[in-house]
């Protein structure tokens, strides 16, 4: 299963997962969740309720970094070649390819630069 998501939305989910272990105010969580489409947020919350922590994982050397089980070749290929969130067939976490997110520092610098 694939969820359409932009690189910024995936980065927001990763940040949300990083903060889930810390005490975060509902206002702080709300600021992050407003950036996410409702189906993605619903899936994220369902994974948290199912004690899949973190609910989002990256692919590392063909394996899900959440459960450390090798992904089927076709799933691995799709994850590595198409930006989006996929479901690990083993642990059901949302999985993405870090390589497809690009360099956030460079993108942030571009945003701050004046446009001509």
Give the tens place of pLDDT for each residue, 5-50.
899 999 999 988 888 766 555 666 778 888 899 999 999 999 989 9
CATH of span 2-102 = 1.10.287.1490
Average pLDDT of the segment spanning 42-64: 93
Model confidence at 95: pLDDT above 70: yes
Domain boundaries, the chain: 2-102
Q: What is the mean pLDDT of the chain?
A: 84
Average pLDDT over residues 86-115: 73
Q: What is the pTM of this model?
A: 0.78
| pLDDT above 50 for 109 | no
- ∠ CA 105-19-48 to the nearest 5 degrees? 120
Mean pLDDT of 43-58: 92
- Separation CA 47–CA 41 (nearest Å): 10
- pLDDT digits 0-9 by tens, 67-77: 999 999 999 99
């Amino acid at each position: 299963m694939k969820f359409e998501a932009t690189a910024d939305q995936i980065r927001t989910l990763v940040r949300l997962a990083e903060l889930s272990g810390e005490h975060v105010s509902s206002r702080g969580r709300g600021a992050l969740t407003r950036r996410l489409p409702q189906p993605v947020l619903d899936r994220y919350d369902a994974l948290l309720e199912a004690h899949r922590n973190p609910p989002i994982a990256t692919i590392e050397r063909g394996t899900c970094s959440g459960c450390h089980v090798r992904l089927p070749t076709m799933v691995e290929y799709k994850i590595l070649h198409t930006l989006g969130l996929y479901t690990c067939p083993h642990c059901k976490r949302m999985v993405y390819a870090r390589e497809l997110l690009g360099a956030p520092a460079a993108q942030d610098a571009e945003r701050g630069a004046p446009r001509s």
